Structure 1
């Protein structure tokens, strides 16, 4: 399979993953699966839009570029067809780096949120972060520090974990396209992109 065909496969995968990331981030606005009456009761990391911005919209740029790469020759370059294909493959590297940065942003937000834990109603009837340095991950008895919303800990933990895994997969796929794009740029004469 040529480098343009590989890029198309990566584009389809990135498009699918960005859709899931987008949906996960939206679900985080409903802690425990329920609507919340005060937006100040949401965790800070939900508002950083790691799944919507990083793994979502920013990932749409490389995904769409990769989908069309197989047929893109940038109109040739001064009438030399392979030169235009080389430019198209090189531009895919730039878009892959943009996707890499977006997924990295989502990864950092998700990891921070998992370690910090969700914002919840604590025993003193105040909203805050009762956990420290991920201590609740190893000791489930600490979960009783959160009185509400119901199931907020498992809800946030599951959704941010999904976003974390998606970000890692997207980082790997973008790294693959960087290598793929560089190989396509260098060896475009050996393999037709179209």
Structure 2
């Protein structure tokens, strides 16, 4: 596959993922879509890994990868699109760090569980954190969290989305890093494809 076409594919894949991750993080701030629980939100939500790491940090690598898939900076073929590929290399490193941040925060959030009001302990806290068996496989303990309602499922689904997107973005940024390095060394093959046709 041509380095330019590959860059465009990666950029167009990263862009919607960034918006989905931002939406997931915003939803985590309002459990069940209600504003009355904002005083009792897990620390990992306030770290904004989905909004920043896999969201805003990913817009730069995405746009640069899409631009690297366009015509070269001096017109068609002059520098083989090497200038844009160089920018894409740098922004791919930046995006990889953001997605890695999102993966770490989301994995920690899934391990700790949500902050909730426990009917057993009669207080707010991370009641799923120190259980003998992981709350992820033992659904019976979910009912211990009475407020916000169904917070455990809300927490698992949205942080799982962020975790999955962050991991996929990390892989795409790594592949774009390799692709753009090849583009810097070898140029863009699309001019050759046009000459053949």
Please report the TM-score for the alignment, with normalisation by the length of structure 2: 0.87
Q: Residue 163 of structure 2 aligns to a residue in which SS?
A: helix
Does the CA-based 8 Å contact 1:65-1:95 persist in structure 2? Answer: yes
Q: CA RMSD in A?
A: 2.2
Alpha-carbon shift at residue 38 of structure 1 (Å): 4.6
Any residues of structure 2 matched to 1:1-194 within 5 Å, and which?
A: 1-31=1-31, 33-75=32-74, 81-82=78-79, 85-123=81-119, 124-132=121-129, 135-188=134-187, 192=191
Instruction: Note closer, same or farther for the CA distance 1:189–1:46 as it changes in structure 2 (3 Å cut).
Output: closer
Measured after TM superposition, the shift of residue 157 of structure 1 is 0.2
Distance 1:38 1:145 in 2: 17
Distance (whole Å) between structure 2 residues aligned to residue 107 and residue 29 of structure 1: 18
SS of 2:146's partner is coil
Counterparts in 2 of 1:130 and 1:189: CA distance versus 1, 3 Å = closer
Q: Aligned partners of 1:92 and 1:56: how far apart in 2?
A: 17
Q: Higher mean Cα deviation, 133-142 or 155-164? A: 133-142
**What is the TM-score with the length of structure 1 in the denominator?**
0.89
1:72–1:88 contact (8 Å) kept in structure 2: no
Unpaired segments of 5 or more residues in structure 2? Answer: none
- The offset of 1:90, in angstroms, is 2.1
Alignment gaps of 5+ in structure 1? none
CA apart distance, 1:67: 1.1
Q: 1:130–1:102: structure 2 CA closer, same or farther, 3 Å change rule?
A: same
- Could you tell me how far apart the structure 2 residues matched to 1:145 and 1:170 are? 35
CA apart distance, 1:189: 6.9
Cα distance in 1 for partners of 2:177, 2:50 equals: 22
Tell me if structure 2 keeps the 8 A contact 1:2–1:192. Answer: no
